[in-house]
Amino acid sequence: MINTIPCALYDYVRWPDGRSRFYYISPQCREIFECDADQITSDVGLLWGMVHPDDLPRLQAEDLVANQTGDGFQSEVRIVPPSGATKWIKLTSRPGTLHVDGGRMWSGVILDISERKEEEAERNRLLRELQAALDKVRVLSGFVPICSTCKKIRDDKGYWNQLEAYISEHTDAEFTHGICPDCAKRALDEFHLLIERENAAKDATPDDAGRR
């Protein structure tokens, strides 16, 4: 089971003076750290050296506090193994009753959580984009000063803008133009009236024109 589970099991000792050592780590460490178990147990600095510089101080502080309090230890940090590809790992361990020369023994598990972190980053990116879109929508909420005659909108700088220009600037909306039935009927009625007036003018006689 130890050789097949998708994680690395380990026994780790930390002494009060700051020294530490991996007494055991399962073979799955190669998939995570890209090095063999005997390399890790012989040189604990190998793994500490892989921890991302931005995460190293936090991990060291968490390691110190856990050993001082004897509480459970859990941390998520980035590592940069020999391939250079950044990974996320989660370390979880509990203190045991065994002490080695005054050092506390911890038994735990290491998981590669890179895929989960990538999904979290993608979700956060989508949330930021959604928030940005909502912020744009909120620009058009509340009272918008609009001319009752020409329908221009006054912006926050006091300038009057065409309705289409104002909405396009504050949202991602784009406009296409058409004509509604009411406006189409009104335009058609005005056109027919104009034709009738022109025809009436053509049919008027000179005498009629003189009397007028």
Segment-wise mean pLDDT, segments of 10 residues, the chain, 212 residues:
82 88 92 94 94 95 88 94 95 84 89 94 92 71 78 84 79 77 84 82 63 52
What is the predicted pLDDT for the residue at 205?
56
Q: How far is Cα 7 from Cα 111, in angstroms, rounded to an integer?
A: 5
What is the predicted pLDDT for the residue at 86?
95
Q: How far is Cα 201 from Cα 204, in angstroms, rounded to an integer?
A: 5
What is the predicted pLDDT for the residue at 137?
64
What is the predicted pLDDT for the residue at 46?
94
Question: Which residues are CB-contacts of 81 (< 8 A; sequence separation ≥ 6)?
Answer: 32, 33, 34, 35, 50, 87
What is the predicted pLDDT for the residue at 207?
58
Structure tokens at 10: 């380990």
Q: How far is Cα 172 from Cα 137, in angstroms, rounded to an integer?
A: 9
What is the predicted pLDDT for the residue at 138?
59
What is the predicted pLDDT for the residue at 208?
54
**Torsion angle (degrees, nearest 10) of CA 32, 37, 41, 45:** -40
